[in-house]
């Protein structure tokens, strides 16, 4: 399959933290969500993909070739939104449009930028320093989309935004992906956003990739088994992925084969597992 992003054996070390041997891909035409607890390595991964930090090891290909951030042709095909907009704070929204025109030249679509600014109700004559956090994010997304990239890479684009704006941004992402050449990789803590729009989920924990799975598989195949100590004694360790002992006695198990487990243990209560719950099991639960 044609990949928008291909990462192989990426490693990066900081004092007290290491991103270890990360390999994954983002298929063209898909929306991939990168999740993990605070400090799991999401921003480090995105920085390494974009060549903003130098990894100790690993290969990254964006849109079919090794990414060269110095190459304007390559850079133009990628839209990037990080936490800080990076725009000069004394510029107005309108001035940002002019600045971006100089950077992206013929690729810059001034009408699209104005359209996004209108859609997001962004003032054209207010300085960026007086924008709220949500306004800055919306401006960054408007700018990232207005040179018609094929790949969007965003670090927590919906963090700190109200639910209405979040919805607007998710709608924009869905529109963007209507063109099947386009792809999105974004990090987030808001798992309901992922449940709405992600095709695939990458879960990082302490710098390691726990899984890269299709969202549908993840949600339909995982389940939480809530069992008494006696029921737990009859379950083999290979039948579950993680476990959590309940304070009042009994165990909760994260199961990766919902239907098989239900057949073998019809007496055990089995609930669907949301993405938050699956993450919690990996972060807080015990392996076996």
Stretch that binds ligand ATP, among 38-46, 58-66, 107-115, 135-143 (CB under 6 A): 38-46
Choices 36-44, 60-68, 84-92, 124-132; region in contact with ligand ATP by CB under 6 A: 36-44
Burial level of 33, CB count in 10 A (0-12/13-18/19+)? buried
To which H or E segment does residue 154 belong?
Answer: strand 151-155
d(CA 19, CA 11): 5
Q: By C-beta, is 197 or 283 nearer to ligand ATP?
A: 283
User: Does 42 contact ligand ATP by CB under 6 A?
Assistant: yes
Q: Which stretch binds ligand ATP (CB under 6 A): 31-39, 208-216, 253-261, 274-282?
A: 31-39
Q: Does 14 bind ligand ATP (CB under 6 A)?
A: yes
**Closest by CA position to 33, among listed 219, 181, 178:** 219
Q: Among 2, 23, 39, 259, which residue sits at the site for ligand ATP (rule: CB under 6 A)?
A: 39
Residue selected from 24, 30, 36, 149 as contacting ligand ATP according to rule CB under 6 A: 36
Q: How far is the CB of 18 from ligand ATP (least distance, A)?
A: 9
What's the CA gap between 233 and 239, in Å, rounded?
12
- Residue reference for tokens 């898909």: 30
Contacts for 199 with CB less than 8 Å, ≥ 6 apart: 27, 30, 31, 32, 214, 215
Interface region with ligand ATP, contact rule CB under 6 A, candidates 37-45, 70-78, 193-201, 210-218: 37-45
Total interface residues for ligand ATP by CB under 6 A: 10
The dihedral region occupied by 66, where left means phi > 0, alpha psi between -120 and 50, and beta the remainder, is beta
As measured in angstroms, the least distance from the Cβ of 59 to ligand ATP is: 19
Nearer to ligand ATP among residue 39 and residue 163 (C-beta) = 39
The binding track of 43-82 with respect to ligand ATP, each residue x by CB under 6 A or -, is xx--------------------------------------
Which region holds residue 51: left if phi is over 0, alpha if psi is between -120 and 50, else beta? left
Beta bridge partners of 57: 11
Scan for tokens 């390494």, then name that residue.
48
Residue 41 touching ligand ATP (CB under 6 A): yes
**Which range binds ligand ATP by CB under 6 A, 42-50, 124-132, 134-142, 191-199?**
42-50
Tokens standing for residue 2: 């044609």
Sign of the alpha-carbon dihedral angle for 221, 279, 175, 182: negative
Smallest separation, CB 162 to ligand ATP (Å): 20
- How many CB atoms lie under 10 A from the CB of residue 94? 16
* Least Å from the CB of residue 33 to ligand ATP: 13
Question: What is the footprint of ligand ATP within residues 97-116 (CB under 6 A)?
Answer: none
Choose between 39 and 260: whose C-beta lies nearer to ligand ATP: 39
Closest CA to 222 of 257, 184, 261: 257
Residues that bind ligand ATP (CB under 6 A): 14, 17, 36, 38-44
């Amino acid at each position: 399959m044609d990949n928008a992003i291909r990462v192989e054996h990426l490693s990066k070390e900081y004092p007290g933290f290491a991103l270890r041997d990360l390999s994954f891909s983002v298929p063209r035409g898909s929306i991939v969500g990168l999740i993990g607890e605070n400090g799991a390595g999401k921003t480090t991964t995105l920085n390494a993909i974009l060549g903003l930090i130098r990894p100790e090891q690993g290969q990254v290909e964006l849109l079919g070739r090794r990414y060269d951030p110095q190459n304007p042709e390559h850079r133009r095909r990628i839209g990037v939104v990080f936490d800080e907009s990076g725009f000069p704070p004394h510029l107005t929204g309108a001035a940002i449009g002019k600045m971006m025109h100089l950077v992206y030249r013929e690729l810059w679509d001034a009408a699209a930028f104005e359209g996004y600014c209108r859609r997001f109700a962004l003032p054209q004559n207010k300085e960026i320093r007086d924008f709220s956090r949500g306004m800055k994010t919306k401006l960054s997304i408007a700018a990232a989309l207005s040179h018609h990239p094929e790949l969007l890479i965003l670090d927590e684009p919906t963090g700190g935004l109200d639910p209405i704006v979040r919805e607007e941004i998710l709608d924009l992402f869905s529109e963007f992906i209507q063109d099947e050449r386009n792809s999105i990789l974004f990090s987030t803590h808001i798992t309901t956003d992922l449940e709405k729009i992600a095709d695939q989920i990458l879960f990082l924990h302490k710098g390691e990739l726990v899984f890269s799975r299709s969202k549908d598989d993840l949600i339909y195949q995982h389940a939480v088994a809530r069992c008494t100590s006696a029921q737990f004694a009859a379950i083999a360790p290979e039948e579950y992925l993680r476990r959590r002992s309940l304070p009042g006695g009994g165990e909760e198990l994260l199961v990766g084969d919902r239907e098989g487990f239900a057949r073998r243990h019809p007496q055990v209560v089995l609930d669907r597992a949301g993405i938050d719950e699956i993450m919690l099991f990996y972060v807080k639960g015990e392996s076996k």
